[in-house]
């Protein structure tokens, strides 16, 4: 198996190697964030975060994994809705804390999360409407 020269640890047969998050997170594109969250976070986050925070983020990871499927059942869509609402509640309690001085922590993206299940119900799974190619333009 061929390994990339820069990273050296992950064989390229398993896919694209992402850049180290500690050095390049400000340059990450959607593909790298998705790969990091779905594949690396479950491993590295467990050792570095308190158990309650880790479990909440893993619930988000599970929701994203379901959204990434090519076929999603109504039961799975309901699970996505529940997990995303749970994550929003957690995020607001933990980081925003309903304080005016912490309002910058409430990015519009977090409100959009509450509607993901609606978009999937109307349009279909994420692969149908993903347009990451526009990210590079």
Domain ranges of the chain: 49-136
Radius of gyration of the chain (CA): 17
- pLDDT of 31: 82
- Tell me the pTM: 0.80
pLDDT above 70 for 117 = yes
What's the start-to-end Cα distance of the chain, in Å? 33
Question: For residue range 19-64, what is the model confidence (pLDDT) as tens digits?
Answer: 888 898 888 888 888 889 999 999 999 999 999 999 999 999 999 9
Which residue in this structure is represented by tokens 């409430």?
A: 106
The first and second tokens of residue 119, run together, are 């978009």
Structure tokens at 45: 């986050």
Q: How far apart are alpha carbons 117 and 87 in whole angstroms? A: 14
pLDDT tens, residue by residue, 64-98: 999 999 999 999 999 999 999 999 999 999 999 99
**What is the per-residue pLDDT for 132?**
62
125: left (phi over 0), alpha (psi -120 to 50) or beta: beta
């Amino acid at each position: 198996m061929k390994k990339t020269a820069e990273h050296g640890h992950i064989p390229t047969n398993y896919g694209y190697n992402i850049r180290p998050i500690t050095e390049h997170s400000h340059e990450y594109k959607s593909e790298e964030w998705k790969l990091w969250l779905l594949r690396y976070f479950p491993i590295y986050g467990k050792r570095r975060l308190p158990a309650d925070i880790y479990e909440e983020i893993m619930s988000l990871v599970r929701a994203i994994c379901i959204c990434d499927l090519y076929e999603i059942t109504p039961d799975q869509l309901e699970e996505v809705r529940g997990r995303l609402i749970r994550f929003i509640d957690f995020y607001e309690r933990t980081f925003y804390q309903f304080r005016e001085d912490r309002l910058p922590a409430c990015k519009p993206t977090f409100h959009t999360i509450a509607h993901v299940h609606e978009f999937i119900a109307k349009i279909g799974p994420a692969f149908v409407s993903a347009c990451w190619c526009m990210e590079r333009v």
